[in-house]
Structure 1
């Protein structure tokens, strides 16, 4: 669907790279290696996105690093569209409801690095989560979004230990209200 609206595959890759994980920063030559495309095609799209204010740039040595402009008025909308394109919104909706005492949900792997992939790595943290139910929901979500979902269930402590130095993207977190009751936050 997104390919029919945005015809430049390079632009889609750049939007996915920078808008799914807002901490992502990269420079032209690294993007050239990662995407396997010519530096000219990538440069043209980076310049267009920067001119539109969607990307910011900063110099470090002789490299110009780009990142998403989270202050742009369309940032939230673009981020939401990309999550829908990837299927993260369906994963959040399906898996975070009714699985037990879920504390948080993270995307790891390629998507946390800002790379498109046919496999979504999902980590759920919490105590006493219903793993059979999670597996059933994951299968349904996979059928809806047309991507494979690898998931892992960990405690919050295990999450910190296992993913201490690895990219992770928080996509959902349970929040406590003033009375100490759990309320959902996205």
Structure 2
């Protein structure tokens, strides 16, 4: 849905990255690598969102780290819209139910769609899963940590949107 409202793919990726899980933070080159975009394209969109005060930026050594500005007046509404557009509640529930430790969003250039990768800690846990709800379905690919790198290499864009911090604390 959002891809029809927001025509900049880079801006759309940023909204998904930062507003699905507002604790996510990233710096310019990290985002460019995850998104498969040029650093200039990412810089332009980071600057736009930071100027609008939708993103906070903070210096960390020689890097500037960006994160959603949770104090912005439109933050709750924007977060809700972004989460609804990707069926976040169903996605998160499925990840917790199978014991996934991370969720990645993968963009398919051929299909011009996003798909969800749930990363499971077991190397033997790999499957395709469809969550059926009353008015929609959600396709999930469950992969192991070992498979993640090859999937990233085959994707135009593949980036982390959620990590189970309880496991990594």
Structure 2 equivalent of residue 140 of structure 1: 132
Structure 2 equivalent of residue 165 of structure 1: 168
Contact kept in structure 2, 1:56 and 1:67, CA below 8 Å: yes
Contact kept in structure 2, 1:87 and 1:145, CA below 8 Å: no
Residues 67, 140 of structure 1: CA spacing in aligned structure 2 closer, same or farther, 3 A cutoff?
Answer: same
- Which whole-Å CA distance do the structure 2 matches of 1:119 and 1:12 have between them? 15
- Which whole-Å CA distance do the structure 2 matches of 1:60 and 1:19 have between them? 21
Q: 2:103 aligns with which of 72, 97, 110?
A: 110
**Normalising to structure 2: TM-score of the pair?**
0.63
Query: Counterpart of 1:148 in 2: which secondary structure?
Result: strand
Contact kept in structure 1, 2:55 and 2:68, CA below 8 Å: yes
* Unaligned residue ranges in structure 2 (runs of 5+): 107-113, 121-129, 143-164
Residues 32, 149 of structure 1: CA spacing in aligned structure 2 closer, same or farther, 3 A cutoff?
Answer: closer
Runs of 4+ in structure 1 deviating by more than 3 angstroms, as ranges, are 89-92, 104-108, 120-123
Residues 139, 16 of structure 1: CA spacing in aligned structure 2 closer, same or farther, 3 A cutoff?
Answer: closer
Query: Counterpart of 2:64 in 1: which secondary structure?
Result: strand
Q: Which has the larger radius of gyration?
A: 1
Residues 38, 149 of structure 1: CA spacing in aligned structure 2 closer, same or farther, 3 A cutoff?
Answer: closer
- Which whole-Å CA distance do the structure 1 matches of 2:118 and 2:87 have between them? 12
